[in-house]
Amino acid sequence: MLGQITAYLGRGQPGYIIAYVTLIVFFAFFYTAIVFNPSETADNLKKYGGFIPGIRPGKNTADYLDFVLTRLTVLGAGYLAAVCILPEILISQYNVPFYFGGTSLLIVVSVTMDTVGQIHAHMLAHQYEGLIKKSKLRGRRG
DSSP-assigned letters across all residues of 43-89? HHHHHTT---TTS-TTHHHHHHHHHHHHHHHHHHHHHHHHHHHHHHH
Distance, in Å, from the CA atom of 26 to the CA atom of 14, rounded to the nearest integer, reads: 18
Q: Are residues 108 and 57 in the same domain?
A: no
57 phi, psi to nearest 5 deg: -65, 160
Please state, rounded to an integer, the average pLDDT across all residues of the chain: 89
**Structure pTM?**
0.73
Q: Are residues 54 and 114 in the same domain?
A: no
Question: What pLDDT was estimated at residue 104?
Answer: 86
Question: What pLDDT was estimated at residue 100?
Answer: 78
- Identify the domain boundary among 80, 98, 116: 98
Q: Are residues 11 and 72 in the same domain?
A: yes
Q: Are residues 114 and 133 in the same domain?
A: yes
Of the segments 54-63, 88-97, 133-142, which one has the largest average pLDDT value?
A: 54-63
Q: Are residues 40 and 87 in the same domain?
A: yes
Q: Are residues 50 and 67 in the same domain?
A: yes
Residue 25: CB partners within 8 Å, gap ≥ 6? 77, 78, 81
CB 16 within 8 A of CB 9: yes
13 phi, psi to nearest 5 deg: -85, 160
Number of domains within the chain? 2
Range of the domain at 139: 101-142
Cα 26 → chain centroid: 14
For 67-125, what is each residue's pLDDT tens digit?
999 999 999 999 999 999 998 888 888 888 877 788 888 888 889 999 999 999 998 88
Q: Are residues 68 and 137 in the same domain?
A: no
Q: Are residues 41 and 14 in the same domain?
A: yes
Residue 95: CB partners within 8 Å, gap ≥ 6? none
Q: 142 falls in which pLDDT band (50, 70, 90)?
A: very low
Of the segments 22-26, 99-103, 131-135, which one has the largest average pLDDT value?
A: 22-26
